[in-house]
Amino acid sequence: MAALTVLYVSPHGDLGGAERVTLDLIALHDRSRVRPQVCFLRDGPLVKVCRDELHVPTDVVPAPALKRYLAGRHVVRTLADRIEWSGVDLVHSAMAWGHVYGGRAAGRARRPAVWFQHVGASWDSGIEAWASLVKARTIIANSEFTAAGQRRVNPRRIPIEVVHPGTRLPEEPLEPRRARARAVLGIGDDEFAIGIAARLQPWKGQEVVIRAAASLIHARPHARCFIIGGALFGLDGEWAAGLPRLAAQLGVGDRVTFTGFRADVIECLAGLDVAIHASVRPEPFGLGLIEAMANGVALVAADAGATREIVTPGEDGLLVPPGDHEALATALLMLCDDPGRRAALAEAGARTARDRFDVLQMVRLVEDLYHVIVSR
């Protein structure tokens, strides 16, 4: 079977969760099955990664805000011309914003389009509902939760396939990775380290984590909290700037560390004793969940959205109500005082990641889907 040329249309050149999934697909495709190309709608660090490190044909076609619909027509024409002259067999659009442009360009060039959707949709969700009106052969949903939302707003009844994202499984044993990460983060041998790794946005729950951490630290002074991540895409910078002030007001400013954006976020997770997922609204998937599990770290997660598609409560993670900082603090205190329980959760989580969320499994499923679509 001949290799397919697939053009990835990615809305952002910065590294967020959906962008990590797209980057893994581009990097890990079997080149005898898929030859990737990529076009970004905004410039950013990932452009250089794709072009100079992965050696993938890469372009940037700056797209205006979607409310400037007429101004965006030239983007669709430019993408369609690129699809035709570069011999693209299939267009893969990441996120709704990518599909509004990539899907329309694929239709103009008479190529099949696939939309990998990472956010649950509803009729009042704006761009996600709008993107559902753009033709696609298949919508790939990152979870059953996301798929359910798509089915509610899918007027064309486009087929939906659920493909859970995966994560790269570490090859190195845990102990050297843990020691290296704790040295990088400055965690002492006798310190109990908790943390959340997510971009700084209100719905990701960093405020909940800080309030829970304050209760934990006042009860167990050897505990420390790490807020790993920055405010991406120019969003919520003012809100993010208030988080250190909250920690100081709660009397734990010296025990809460804000790392800012880190390209080695996955490696940093290995240094924690407990990783936290704290989204206050339903998470469409939660890449940070499987990244923590793969790193052999005990997990406490907010019980909403797709979380239960990943975590078996009490077996490979603990679940708490979203936004409930007291319940989160109680779970963290219990794990602080029970290293055996932490170790059991971490071991089971690593097994779950290995068995169900290996990134190569995701890549092969997507490759198979591409070939089925093109052969129709």
pLDDT digits (tens, 9 = 90+) for 314-346: 999 999 999 999 999 999 999 999 999 999 999
Are 169 and 145 in contact by the 8 Å Cβ rule? The answer is no
How far is it, in rounded angstroms, from Cα 376 to Cα 374? Answer: 6
Residue 7 phi/psi, 5° resolution? -95, 120
First to last CA, the chain: 14
Residue 153's pLDDT is what? Answer: 82
* Residue of higher predicted confidence among 22 and 238: 22
pLDDT band for position 18 (cuts 50, 70, 90):
confident
- Supply the DSSP string of 299-348, one letter for each residue: EEEE-STTHHHH--BTTTBEEE-TT-HHHHHHHHHHHHH-HHHHHHHHHH
Residue 272's pLDDT is what? Answer: 98
CA distances from 239 to 76, 234, 254, 340 (A): 35, 12, 20, 37
Structure tokens at 37: 């190309």
CA distances from 31 to 9, 19, 221, 245, 364 (A): 19, 20, 52, 49, 12
72-76, 137-141, 269-273, 276-280, range with the lowest pLDDT: 72-76
> Taking residues 47-58, what's their average pLDDT?
96
Whose structure tokens read 């898929």? 34
What is the SS3 assignment for 205? coil
Residue 39's pLDDT is what? Answer: 97
Task: Check whether 365 has a pLDDT greater than 90.
Answer: yes
How far is it, in rounded angstroms, from Cα 196 to Cα 227? Answer: 5
Domains, the chain, ordered by start: 4-166+358-375 (3.40.50.2000), 174-356 (3.40.50.2000)
CA distances from 39 to 36, 84, 372 (A): 10, 14, 23
For every residue of 94-159, which 3-state class applies, written as one string? Answer: EHHHHHHHHHHHHHHCCCCEEEEECCCCCCCCCHHHHHCCCCCCEEEECCHHHHHHHHHCCCCCCC
pLDDT digits (tens, 9 = 90+) for 193-215: 999 999 899 999 999 999 999 99
Are 358 and 28 in contact by the 8 Å Cβ rule? The answer is no
Residue 44's pLDDT is what? Answer: 93
pLDDT band for position 15 (cuts 50, 70, 90):
confident
Are 317 and 277 in contact by the 8 Å Cβ rule? The answer is no
Whose structure tokens read 């079997």? 30
> Taking residues 134-150, what's their average pLDDT?
93
Average pLDDT score over the chain = 93
Residue 65's pLDDT is what? Answer: 73
Residue 260's pLDDT is what? Answer: 92
Neighbours of 157 (CB within 10 A): 7
Are 267 and 179 in contact by the 8 Å Cβ rule? The answer is no
Residue 232's pLDDT is what? Answer: 63
Are 106 and 91 in contact by the 8 Å Cβ rule? The answer is yes
pLDDT digits (tens, 9 = 90+) for 246-258: 999 999 999 999 9
Task: Check whether 125 has a pLDDT greater than 80.
Answer: no
Are 243 and 170 in contact by the 8 Å Cβ rule? The answer is no
> Taking residues 56-62, what's their average pLDDT?
96
Sign of CA dihedral 259, 262, 266, 267: negative
pLDDT band for position 121 (cuts 50, 70, 90):
low
Nearest to 166 by CA among 286, 265, 271: 286
Residue 228 phi/psi, 5° resolution? -105, 120
What is the SS3 assignment for 271? coil
> Taking residues 289-315, what's their average pLDDT?
96
Structure tokens at 102: 């990539």
Residue 156's pLDDT is what? Answer: 76
Q: In what order do the strands lie in the sheet with 58-60?
A: 58-60, 34-40, 4-10, 90-94, 113-117, 138-141, 160-162
Whose structure tokens read 């007001």? 249
pLDDT digits (tens, 9 = 90+) for 60-119: 999 987 666 556 789 999 999 999 999 999 999 999 889 999 999 999 999 999 999 988
